[in-house]
């Protein structure tokens, strides 16, 4: 089982209404796309967390299930209205099995990068394919690796610099790895946290999909279906089980 980086300490502060990712303007377009793709079928969220996306999607009438490693994160979802009606399998989304067959599986908020080896990321695609009905679709939202912003010879890039949050990504280019270091002022106390990731290229994801019997049907720069270009810093990609 992979290490759980979303224990009680993180779960307690994860939901942050002041963060743009938690605001209706950000969540609305996500739910619009996912509800349309799910159609009349059920949806499976890998890394369902505190239900940031799953709960509003369920409120749209979609049957939502989840997989997550962190009992602390899922407990936060359970405490919200409707949160105890969503079936969740506790386990690694690269291998854990959820009951049922799904028209849609989705993995948002860069969470594919939490799988820190290529083998685990491929296994995740294979696990998704095993949950999808034929023609079912898999959606990933993830950043484009920011290597163009890393000067030659440097390994560290700041990504947050506010009075309450300092964040630095430390790249290991040979391994395609990065560690995100966070220093945050929470309730008057500075806390540090370092989480390992494996960054992954869009073309590499397409190959993983192909290994798992899926093919790319859409790639947007965001949830409003903006065109994906060389300048895009993230993408929302949709593959269909062949």
Contact residues for ligand SAM (CB under 6 A)? 2, 6, 47-49, 52-53, 67-70, 73, 92-94, 108-109, 111, 114-115
The least distance separating ligand SAM from the CB of residue 60, rounded to whole angstroms, comes to 16
Closer residue to ligand SAM in complex, CB, 63/68: 68
Question: For residue 86, what are the contacts with CB-CB under 8 A and spacing of at least 6?
Answer: 48, 51, 54, 55, 58, 64, 65, 66, 77
Closer residue to ligand SAM in complex, CB, 109/183: 109
Closer residue to ligand SAM in complex, CB, 70/176: 70
Closer residue to ligand SAM in complex, CB, 94/205: 94
Closer residue to ligand SAM in complex, CB, 4/170: 4
Q: How many whole angstroms separate alpha carbon 64 and alpha carbon 85?
A: 9
The least distance separating ligand SAM from the CB of residue 113, rounded to whole angstroms, comes to 9
The least distance separating ligand SAM from the CB of residue 232, rounded to whole angstroms, comes to 20
Helix axes 202-211, 118-131, angle to 10 degrees: 50
The least distance separating ligand SAM from the CB of residue 111, rounded to whole angstroms, comes to 4
- Contact in structure between 33 and 217 (CB atoms under 8 Å): no
Own/partner pairs, 57-65, CB within 8 angstroms, 24+ separation: 57/31, 58/82, 58/85, 58/86, 60/31, 60/35, 61/35, 62/34, 62/35, 62/38, 65/89, 65/98, 65/99, 65/100, 65/102
Furthest-apart CA atoms within the chain: distance in Å:
52
The least distance separating ligand SAM from the CB of residue 242, rounded to whole angstroms, comes to 25
The least distance separating ligand SAM from the CB of residue 152, rounded to whole angstroms, comes to 31
Which run of H or of E encompasses 174? none
Question: For residue 162, what are the contacts with CB-CB under 8 A and spacing of at least 6?
Answer: none
Closer residue to ligand SAM in complex, CB, 153/165: 165
């Amino acid at each position: 089982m992979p290490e759980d980086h979303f224990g009680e300490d993180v779960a307690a502060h994860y939901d942050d209404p002041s963060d743009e990712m938690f605001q209706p303007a950000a969540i609305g377009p996500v739910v619009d796309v996912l509800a349309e793709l799910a159609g009349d079928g059920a949806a499976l969220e890998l890394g369902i967390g505190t239900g940031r996306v799953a709960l509003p999607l369920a409120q749209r009438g979609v049957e939502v299930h989840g997989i997550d490693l962190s009992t602390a994160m899922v407990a936060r979802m359970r405490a919200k209205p409707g949160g105890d009606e969503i079936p969740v399998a506790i386990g690694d989304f690269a291998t854990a099995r959820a009951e049922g067959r799904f028209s849609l599986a989705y993995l948002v908020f860069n969470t594919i990068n939490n799988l820190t080896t290529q083998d685990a990321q491929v296994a995740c695609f294979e696990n998704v394919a095993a949950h999808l009905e034929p023609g079912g679709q898999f959606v990933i939202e993830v950043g484009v690796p920011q290597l163009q912003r890393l000067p030659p010879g440097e390994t560290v890039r700041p990504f947050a610099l506010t009075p309450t949050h300092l964040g630095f990504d430390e790249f290991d280019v040979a391994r395609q790895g990065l560690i995100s270091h966070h220093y945050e002022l929470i309730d008057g106390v500075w806390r540090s946290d370092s989480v390992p990731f494996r960054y992954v290229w869009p073309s590499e994801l397409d190959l993983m999909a192909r290994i798992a019997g899926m093919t790319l049907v859409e790639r947007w720069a965001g949830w409003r279906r903006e065109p994906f270009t060389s300048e895009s810093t993230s993408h929302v990609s949709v593959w269909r089980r062949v």
